[in-house]
């Protein structure tokens, strides 16, 4: 199977998500999506990861009620569930 190790440009990812390329850059800077840098500093994204984000996340996670408590967290799972890494200092 083609895992899709092809690389996509920021503009392509932005078109897939219907967002501004700048937003994709912010996602990469925040660690929400993996990125590969060219020697010149431009970013490339793995198609497999992008497609996983596109159609593989709206099924078994944050369904509707208990997916992501935005304020009334049980305080027992500090787990990174929604925010894996980064400190969002951008």
Residues in contact with DNA by the rule CB under 7 A: 9-12, 14, 18-30, 38-43, 65-66, 68, 83, 85-86, 88-90
Rounded to a whole number of angstroms, the minimum distance from the CB of residue 1 to its own copies is 20
The three-state (H, E, C) secondary structure of 32-75, written as one string: CCCCEECCCCCEEEEHHHHHHHHHCCCCCCCCCCCCCCCCCCCC
79 near its own copies (CB under 8 A): no
Residues in the chain: 90
Residues in contact with its own copies by the rule CB under 8 A: 6-9, 17-19, 23, 27-41, 44, 53-54, 57-58, 61-65, 68, 70, 84-87, 90
């Amino acid at each position: 199977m083609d895992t899709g190790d092809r690389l996509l440009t920021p503009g392509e990812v932005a078109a897939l998500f219907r967002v501004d390329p700048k937003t994709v850059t912010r996602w990469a800077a925040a660690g929400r999506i993996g990125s590969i840098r060219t020697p010149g500093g431009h970013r490339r994204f793995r198609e497999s990861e992008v497609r996983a984000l596109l159609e593989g996340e709206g099924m078994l996670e944050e369904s509707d009620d208990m997916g992501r408590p935005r304020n009334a967290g049980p305080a027992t799972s500090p787990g990174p569930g929604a925010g894996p890494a980064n400190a969002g200092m951008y």
